[in-house]
Structure 1
Amino acid sequence: MSTDDRTGRPINNDRDDLGRQVLDLVAPLTSRFSPGGGRLRLGFNTAHYDQAASELEAYARPLWGLAPLAAGGMDFEHWELWRDGLAAGTDPDHPDHWGAVFDRNQRLVETAAIGLALALAPEHVWDPLTGRQRDTVAAWLRHAVTVEPNNNNWLFFPVLVGLGLDRVGVAHDHDANTARLDRLEAFDLGRGWYSDGPTWQRDYYIPFAMHYYGLIYAALGADQARAGRFRDRAAAFAQDFQHWFTSEGVAVPFGRSLTYRFAQSAFWGALAFADVEALPWEVTKGHLLRNLRWWESRPIRDAAGLLTIGYGYPQPHMAEQYNAPGSPYWAMKAFLPLALPAEHPFWTAKEAEAPPLPEVSTQPQAGVALMRCEEGRHVVLLSAGQRNQWARHGAAKYAKFAYSTRFGFSVPAGTLMLEQGAFDSTLALSEDGLRWRPCELPDAVSASDGVLHARWTPWDDVEIETWLVARSPWHVRVHRIRTGRALHTAEGGFAVDRDLPPNRVDLGPGRARLDSPGGLCVIEDLSGRREGALITALPGTNVLVPHTTIPTLKGELAPGEHLLACAVIGLEAAGDDWPEPPAWESIEPLL
Structure 2
Amino acid sequence: MTYDPASANPLKGNALETRADMQRALIDLFNPLLPYFSEGNARVRLDAAAAHFDRAAADLEGFARPLWGLAPFAAGGGQFAHWDRYAQGIANGTDPDHPEYWGAVNGRDQRMVELAALGFALALVPEKIWDPLSPAARDGLVAYLIHARQFDYADNNWKFFRILVDIALDRLGVEYDRSLTHAYLAELEGFYIADGWYRDGNVRRIDHYIPFAMHFYGLIYARLVDDDYAERYRERALLFAQDFRRWFAEDGAALPFGRSLTYRFACAGFWSALAFADLEALPWGEIKGLCLRHLRWWADKPMTDRDGVLSIGYGYPNLLMSENYNSAGSPYWAFKAFLPLAVGEDHPFWTSAETPLAQGDAPVAFRHPGMVMMPCKGDVVALSSGQENRQMRFGSEKYAKFAYSTRYGFSVESDERAFAGGAFDSMLAFSDDGIHYRVREGNEEARLAGTMLFSRWSPWPDVVVETWLIPSPPWHIRVHRITTPRPLETAEGGFAIARRDFEADSLSAAAGSAHAIGAVDFSGIRDLGSTVIRQGLVQKAPPNTNLIVAKTLVPQLHATIPAGETILRSAVVALRDTSFDDWSRPPAAPGIDELRALAEDGETVSAMKAPVRMP
Matched, 1:302 2:305: yes
Query: Deviation digits for residues 458-478 of structure 1, max 9, x if unmatched?
Result: 112101111111111111111
Question: Is the 8 Å Cα contact of residues 93 and 102 (structure 2) preserved in structure 1?
Answer: yes
1:267-294 C-alpha deviation (Å, 9 max, x unpaired): 0010111121110001000000000001
CA distance in 2, matches of 1:217, 1:136: 25
Measured after TM superposition, the shift of residue 35 of structure 1 is: 1.3
Q: How does 1:23-172 map to 2 (within 5 A)?
A: 23-172=27-176
1:82-140 deviation digits (Å, cap 9, x = unpaired) = 11111110111111111122211100000100001001110000001110000000110
* 1:541-552 alignment runs, 5 A limit: 541-552=545-556
CA offsets 1:369-427 (integer angstroms, 9 cap, x no match): 111011xx211111112110111111111111111122111001112233553211100
> For residue 138 of structure 1, what is the amino acid of its counterpart?
V
> 1: CA distance between counterparts of 2:515 and 2:462?
33
Residues of 2 paired with 1:302 and 1:482: CA distance?
A: 48
Comparing 447-456 with 228-237, which one deviates more in the overlay?
A: 447-456
Structure 2 residue aligned with 1:4: none
Name whichever of 66-75 and 509-518 sits farther off. Answer: 509-518
Q: How many Å separate the matches in 2 of 1:463 and 1:394?
A: 20
Instruction: Measure how far apart 1:435 and its partner are.
Output: 1.5
Aligned partners of 2:68 and 2:338 also within 8 Å? yes
Mapped contact 1:523–1:566 kept (Cα < 8 A): yes
Give the distance between the partners of 1:267 and 1:177, measured in 2 at CA: 23
Residues 357/259 of structure 1: CA separation in 2 closer, same or farther (3 Å cut): same
Query: Secondary structure of 2:337's partner?
Result: helix
Q: Identify which of 283, 288, 310 aligns with 1:285.
A: 288
Match of 1:517 in 2: 519
One-letter amino acid of the counterpart of residue 558, structure 2 = K
| Letter matched to residue 68 of structure 2 | W
SS at match of 2:137: helix
Distance in structure 2 (CA, Å) of the matches to 1:13 and 1:587: 51
SS where residue 168 of structure 2 aligns? Answer: helix
SS at match of 2:36: coil
Deviation at 1:364, TM superposition (A): 0.7
What do the CA deviations read for 1:2-61 (whole angstroms, capped 9, x no partner)? Answer: xxxxx9943222211111111111111122111122111111141000000000000000
Query: Alpha-carbon deviation of 1:147?
Result: 1.3
Greater CA deviation, 68-77 or 337-346?
337-346
Q: Does 1:477 align with 2:478?
A: yes
Q: Report the secondary structure of 2:307's partner residue.
A: coil
Determine the C-alpha separation between the residues in 1 that align with 2:14 and 2:108.
Answer: 41
Find the counterpart in structure 1 of residue 567 from structure 2.
Answer: 563
Q: Which of 165, 177, 182 is residue 178 of structure 1 equivalent to?
A: 182
Corresponding residue number in structure 2 for 1:18: 22
Equivalent-residue separation in structure 1 for 2:592 and 2:574 (angstroms): 19
Q: Is the 8 A contact 2:507 2:538 kept in 1?
A: no
Consecutive unaligned residues of structure 1, counting only runs of 5 or more, are 1-6
- Give the Cα–Cα distance (whole angstroms) in 2 for the partners of residues 114 and 522 of structure 1: 48
Alignment check: 8 A CA contact 1:103 1:148 kept? yes
Query: Aligned pair in 2 of structure 1 residues 241, 576: CA closer, same or farther (>3 Å)?
Result: closer
CA distance in 2, matches of 1:81, 1:381: 44
Offset from partner CA, 1:491-542 (integer Å, 9 cap, x none)? 0011121216555433211111222214111101112421111112111111
Q: How many residues align?
A: 582
Structure 1 residue aligned with 2:424? 423
Q: Distance in 2 between matches of 1:59 and 1:444?
A: 44
Work out the CA distance in 2 between the residues paired with 1:587 and 1:297: 45
- Name 1:3's counterpart in structure 2: none
**TM-score, with length taken from structure 1:** 0.96
Q: Secondary structure at the match of 2:500?
A: coil
Matched, 1:387 2:391: no
Contact 2:268 2:291 in 1 (8 A): yes
> Which moves more between the two structures, 262-271 or 431-440?
431-440
SS at match of 1:584: coil
d(CA) in 2 for partners of 1:87 and 1:419? 56
**Paired AA for residue 319 in structure 1:** S
Work out the CA distance in 2 between the residues paired with 1:234 and 1:448.
26
Match of residue 214 from structure 1: 218
Equivalent of 1:352 in 352, 355, 372: 355
Distance 1:588 1:21, change over 3 A: farther
Deviations 1:436-495 (A, max 9, x none): 111112234212322111111111210111111111111111111110111011000111
The corresponding residue for 2:5 is none
Bigger Cα displacement from structure 2, 398-407 vs 324-333: 398-407
2:585 is the counterpart of 1:584: no
SS at the partner of 1:305? coil
Runs of 4+ in 1 over 4 A off after TM superposition: 500-503, 585-588
The 3-state SS of whatever aligns with 2:458 is strand
Residue 459 to residue 344, structure 1, CA distance change in 2 (3 Å)? same
What TM-score, normalized to structure 2?
Answer: 0.92
Compared CA separation, residues 576 and 420, structure 1 to 2 (3 A) = closer
Equivalent pair of 1:433/1:488 in contact (CA under 8 Å): yes
Distance 1:179 1:273, change over 3 A: same
Bigger mean CA offset, 202-211 vs 408-417? 408-417
1:182-223 per-residue CA deviation (whole Å, 9 max, x = no partner) reads 111121111100000100111100000000000000110242
- Structure 2 match to 1:538: 542
- Matches of 2:282 and 2:426 in 1, distance apart? 33
Structure 1 pair 262/509, CA: closer, same or farther in 2 (3 Å)? same
User: What one-letter code is carried by the residue in structure 2 that aligns with 1:370?
Assistant: M
Q: 1:251 maps to what in 2?
A: 254
Query: Are 1:270 and 2:237 matched, yes or no?
Result: no
SS class of match (1:359): coil
Tell me how far apart the structure 2 counterparts of residues 167 and 341 of structure 1 sit (CA, whole Å): 22
Show structure 2 runs of 5+ residues with no match: 1-10, 597-615
Q: Taking structure 1 as reference, are residues 502 and 473 closer, same or farther at Cα in structure 2, changes over 3 Å only?
A: farther
Residue identity matched to 1:257? S
Structure-2 separation of matches of 1:23 and 1:588: 59
The reply to whether residue 554 of structure 1 matches residue 554 of structure 2 is no
Preserved CA contact (<8 Å) 2:41 2:89:
yes
1:343, 1:308 → 2: CA distance? Answer: 35
- What is the identity, as a one-letter code, of the residue corresponding to 1:519? D
> 2:464 — aligned with what?
463
Root-mean-square deviation (CA), in Å?
Answer: 1.6
Q: Counterpart of 2:35 in 1: which secondary structure?
A: coil
AA matched with 1:59: F
8 Å CA contact 1:273, 1:339 repeated in 2: yes
1:199: which partner in 2? 203
Task: Kindly indicate whether the alpha-carbon contact (under 8 Å) linking 2:468 and 2:595 is maintained by their aligned counterparts in 1.
Answer: no
Change (3 A) 1:518 1:418: farther
**Partner of 1:217: helix, strand, or coil?**
helix
Q: Quick check: 2:445–2:457 contact (8 Å CA) kept in 1?
A: no
User: For residues 309-349 of structure 1, what are the alpha-carbon distances to aligned partners after superposition, in whole Å with 9 as ceiling and x for unaligned?
Assistant: 00000111111100000000000000011111111111111
Q: 1:331 aligns with which of 322, 334, 343?
A: 334
Which structure has more relative contact order (CA 8 Å, sep 6+)? It is 2
Q: Give the distance between the partners of 1:350 and 1:470, measured in 2 at CA.
A: 34
Among all aligned residue pairs of Structure 1 and Structure 2, give the percentage whose two residues are the same amino acid: 49
